[in-house]
């Protein structure tokens, strides 16, 4: 079938800002309503975001959450593990970040780092990251069986678009903090990272928690698509919003 990322049409976009804003407001209102229904239910909502550096994960999360009740949602930006975390199983540091009943947890990068950056950079041994596919599938099955609504998104951009965003960040004093040497290092292994992502899709695309691949070259389009997918999934759970 070929690689899934190669089949994405990265030219998809929303042209009019007014159209984008109208769609954004409508979807944010539906998500706010869904948050109230979630709060009254025995369920939790877990959102996972993966993708290349500068793919737009943070921007999507900002728009998803800006109209929600902040007391009921927590965003976790996952960076390299601490020394304490390294002394435990790699999934240990994620279990205590999972939401309580009626609440939402959003992961800006996640446990999938084991089979992505840790695999590519050699931070995990081959037998460790190969074993991780089964471990992750079992963990996610446990979460869903316990009442979690789990959605996984992978934002994809071209290597050229990533370079453009890197250069804009480096030149903007208000966004310079977003770019680091680690980002440039990861870019040098672009093909290896995409190969790892394709393996991840094949081995962790479960029916109860499938991967949603998002065309990320145009941020407005990516944000609206993700929010529509999320609203659709929540309507399956709670009825029309």
Q: Enumerate the domain spans of the chain.
A: 5-236
**Nearest CA-CA partner of 211 in 152, 139, 157, 133:** 152
pLDDT for the residue numbered 179? 84
Q: Determine the Cα–Cα distance for residues 100 and 108; give it in Å rounded to an integer.
A: 18
The 211-215 sheet, strands edge to edge: 73-77, 104-108, 44-50, 148-156, 211-215
Residue ranges in the chain modelled with pLDDT below 70: 1-2
- The pLDDT assigned to 185 comes to 83
pLDDT at 2: 62
CB 179 within 8 A of CB 170: yes
Helix (H) or strand (E) holding 132: helix 126-145
Distance CA 216, CA 56 (A): 7
For 57-91, the pLDDT digits (tens) are: 999 999 999 999 999 999 999 999 999 999 999 99
pLDDT of residue 225: 98
CATH class of 5-236: alpha beta
Length of the chain: 241
Q: What is the DSSP letter of 23?
A: H
- For residues 193 and 117, the answer to whether their CB atoms sit within 8 Å is yes
pLDDT at 147: 97
């Amino acid at each position: 079938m070929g690689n899934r990322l190669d089949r994405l049409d990265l030219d998809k976009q929303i042209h009019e800002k007014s159209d984008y804003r109208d769609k954004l407001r409508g979807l944010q209102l539906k998500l706010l309503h869904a948050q109230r229904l979630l709060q009254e239910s025995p369920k939790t909502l877990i959102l996972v975001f993966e993708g290349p550096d500068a793919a737009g994960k943070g921007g999507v999360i900002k728009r998803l959450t800006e109209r929600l009740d902040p007391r009921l949602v927590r965003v976790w930006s996952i960076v390299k593990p601490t020394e304490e975390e390294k002394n435990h199983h790699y999934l240990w540091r994620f279990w205590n970040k999972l939401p309580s009943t009626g609440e939402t947890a959003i992961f800006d990068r996640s446990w999938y780092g084991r089979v992505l950056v840790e695999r590519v950079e050699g931070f995990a041994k081959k037998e460790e990251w190969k074993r991780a596919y089964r471990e992750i599938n079992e963990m996610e099955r446990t979460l869903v069986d316990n009442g979690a609504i789990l959605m996984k998104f992978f934002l994809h951009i071209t290597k050229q678009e990533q370079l453009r965003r890197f250069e804009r960040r480096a030149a903007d004093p208000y966004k310079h903090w977003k770019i680091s040497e680690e980002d440039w290092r990861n870019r040098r292994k672009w093909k290896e990272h995409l190969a790892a992502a394709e393996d991840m899709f094949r081995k962790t695309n479960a029916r109860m928690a499938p991967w949603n691949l998002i065309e990320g070259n145009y941020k407005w389009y990516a944000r609206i698509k993700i929010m529509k997918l999320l609203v659709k999934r929540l309507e399956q759970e709670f009825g029309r919003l």
